[in-house]
Amino acid sequence: MAKLDDLICQSINPFDVESLASGNFWQEQQNRALTVNSIHQEAVEKIEELLDTVIQNRYSQTVLLAGDSGSGKSYLLGRLKRTFNSKAFFAYIDPWADSDFIWRHILRQMVDSLLYKPEGEEEPQLLLWLKGLSAFREGGFAKWMMGERNLFIRNLETTFPAGTYNSKQFFGVLYDLTNSELYSLACQWLRGDDLDDDDLRKLKVKRAIDSENAAKGILGNFSRIATNNRPIVFCFDSLDSIPRLPQGNIDLQALFNVNTIFYNQYFKNFLVIISIIKSTWDENKRFIQPADLAPGRLHREVYLKPINKKQIEALWVMRLHSLHQQSKPKPISDIEPLSKEQINLRFPRGKTLPRMALSIGRELFQQYKDGLRRDTKPPIDRKAILLAEFELKWQDEFAKTKERIKKITFLSAPDLIRILQDALKALQVKELRTKFIRGKYSGYSLNYKNPHKQEKVGVVWTEDANFTSFFSVMNACQKALRQKQCQTLYLIRVGSVGTAKLKGNQIYRKIFTGSPHRHIRETLTSVHYLATYQELVKSARANELVLAGKTISVDELESLIRQTEILKKCKLLKDLGIFDSVVEDVKEREEIVEVADEKAQEIKTFLLNRLKTQNCMALAALQENAIARFGDLNKTTIKQQVKMLIEEDSAMIYNPTKPLEEQLIAWVPQGTTDSSGRFPPF
């Protein structure tokens, strides 16, 4: 076992920035070992009381969960899910892109959440919900499933005689959830995908859930037929990113309209948690109808309090525990190399927010680590560290996005337009507006001014498989062109455009055969770039994007995305004419010559960025970190990239004669090597 100081030099900062992030609790797996149970325990107990009330009387309840930025609201939602998933189903609801689609958005997000398996369970929440219905419990699930489909539907209609929306189709799709061949299609229908006629026939349904009224009806079904089942907890988060009204305030009224309908139409067995930044709530609640905030609509307001010195210390203990376990001799203090004196000095009022406690811990730990150098320390290049942390954050978020979005249709058309809109705004595209086409599908479109040709460009993005819907979209495009609303129109669609006998295809061929209008078949990777950027935008809007010890605003994020030119790798943006095609084609050819292996360059950049943020660490730890990030790497590939960094004087091995597990690798900022090319030792 090594001394604590040696371990500190070898390790990644245990307060590292990537560990401070929190988001969708089905995608961000919390480490129980890092949870301090006393923090926000009072809030947990208050929300549990409401959940127990729903379980007892089945009447839906709504709670406002408010706190300052960095108080741990999103983390608390994950903790609630982890703690109470055995007695409730949990749905994480991201910000909606268009308030005209809010019911469809909530339904889609609920079903997506129900497709996750709770911890310790072998089946997803949706099947557990299905098996928990009283009709199944009393009759026996296997017995119900062995029955004939029409008999199954009639039995459920008898059990639930009134108030079920579109009952035959809904109960039929529930039956299909138990058929392995139809399960995926049934899930797609429930989440509101606009399926083609062949798929609708397989499910024996007439149409998709393609309207707000239909989505509201299906959500009502989930409520009304499950009054003896576990409740569904809806967790609305990141509300700073919902649409804004013309006067500038966020459209919270749209959410409270939904909430009021839950009560007016007797939706049962729901617990609604509205998580919001306190200042955002204070600024926007006056725009909500007073009746929607009455005690019968908003049952409780829970405010997260700052944490005290003991809780700050407990957070630090949790983060440092792993290093202490490896250390010999054992540290005297549970927070060494940090101290209680530093807590008193940095938090003189005795209170702070959890994120601030972790950020200060990270700063103090890094200062101590840097202080272990025996000679002159290199100057701190804050800009280089900021860019390095941003690129690491991007890579981390990009990997999560790839895991989350397996196909383009995972996102609705309004969501696709929203992620494109955010990227175009970051790239300073002018005259950017949504809802370019008119009618039911207006949310599928936007327009902007081409930055190089100064012409108005229209974009329509639809992946709806149903060709009746496709015809309506094409018809709206045709009308927009007749009204000369743009000079160039792009259709973004990877799916089929139908056969020549279909009216939608006929209009499509008239518009998109030849120039100037164009059909772009986007790649899933392009969607990953756009969706990753939007996740960072959501964090920035909520004041939760922290890089190099600083909270990054949306404007600063946009500046970083332009500086790093990451979005130039997004093929869709190139196809839309956002980048100068001549310049970019030359650059691409040069890059192909200079870097034959793009993956190798990505690994090399990751290694250098990790070193910039840590200053130094064990070579073995750096290798393990790279393998954890990229998964399919072998150590030979990593060694090759490390060797290149050393040859370029970007890094150095401090003690190359020692065994590999003891070797330290350090970042060499430009201009910091001495006359012999050596780096100041540790």
Q: Is 640's pLDDT higher than 60?
A: yes
**Cβ atoms of residues 612 and 547 within 8 Å:** no
pLDDT at 321: 94
Residue 547 β-bridge partners: 550
Structure confidence at residue 377 (pLDDT): 57
Q: Locate tokens 């599908």: which residue?
A: 441
Query: What pLDDT was estimated at residue 32?
Result: 80
For residue 514, what is the DSSP state? S
Q: What is the pTM of this model?
A: 0.92
Q: Which residues of 361-391 are buried (b: 16+ CB within 10 A; e: fewer)?
A: bbebbbeebeeebeeeebeebeebbbbbbbb
> Residue 156: what pLDDT?
84
> What integer is the mean pLDDT of 361-384?
79
Average pLDDT of the segment spanning 608-619: 91
User: Residue 212 and residue 435: Cα distance in Å, rounded?
Assistant: 18
What is the rounded average pLDDT of the residues 591-606? Answer: 70
Give per-residue pLDDT as tens, 527-553: 999 999 999 999 999 999 999 888 999
pLDDT digits (tens, 9 = 90+) for 169-221: 999 999 999 899 999 999 999 999 999 999 999 999 999 999 999 999 999 99
pLDDT class for 27, splitting at 50, 70, 90? confident
Instruction: Give ∠ CA 291-297-300 in degrees, rounded to 5.
Output: 120
Give the pLDDT confidence of 40-79 residue by residue, as tens digits.
999 999 999 999 999 999 999 999 999 999 999 999 999 9
When pLDDT is cut at 50, 70 and 90, the band that residue 680 belongs to is very low
Task: Quote the distance between the C-alpha of residue 111 and its chain's center.
Answer: 16
The string of DSSP codes covering 41-60 is: HHHHHHHHHHHHHHHHH-B-
- The architecture (CATH level 2) of 40-88+230-243+257-305 comes to 3-Layer(aba) Sandwich (3.40)
Q: What is the pLDDT of residue 669?
A: 84
Which pLDDT belongs to residue 593? 39
pLDDT at 675 exceeding the cut of 90 = no
Q: What does the pLDDT average to over 226-246? A: 93
Q: Is the pLDDT of residue 330 over 70?
A: yes
| Residue 242 in this model has a pLDDT that exceeds 60 | yes
In tens, the pLDDT along 304-313 reads: 999 999 999 9
Residue type, 328: K
pLDDT at 526: 97
Q: What residue ranges in 419-481 does DSSP mark as E strands?
A: 433-434, 445-449, 456-461
Q: What number is the average pLDDT over the span 101-114? A: 98
- Interval 285-296: pLDDT, tens: 999 999 999 988
With cut-offs at 50, 70 and 90, classify the pLDDT of residue 659. confident
SS (H, E, C) 76-102: HHHHHHHHHCCCCEEEEECCCCCHHHH
Measured in degrees and rounded to the nearest 5, phi and psi for residue 398 equal -65, -40
Provide the pLDDT for residue 670.
74
C-beta separation of 628 from 634 below 8 A = no
CA angle, corner 355, sides to 351 and 359, nearest 5? 100
| pLDDT of res. 637 | 86
Using an 8 Å Cβ cutoff, are 283 and 249 in contact? yes
What is the percent of the chain with per-residue pLDDT over 70, rounded to a whole number?
91
- pLDDT band at 342; cut points 50, 70, 90: very high
Q: Is the pLDDT of residue 348 over 80?
A: yes
- The CATH number of the structural domain formed by 598-667 is 1.10.10.10
Percentage, residues of the chain above pLDDT 90: 73
Question: What pLDDT is stored for residue 16 in this prediction?
Answer: 79
More confident residue, 29 or 605: 605
- Examine the pLDDT at 333 and tell me if it is beyond 90: yes
Amino acid at position 632, single letter? D
pLDDT of the residue at 634? 78
Q: What is the mean pLDDT of residues 452-462?
A: 93
User: What are the residue boundaries of the structural domains of the chain, listed by start?
Assistant: 40-88+230-243+257-305, 119-228, 307-378, 407-594, 598-667
Give the three-state DSSP class for 502. Answer: coil
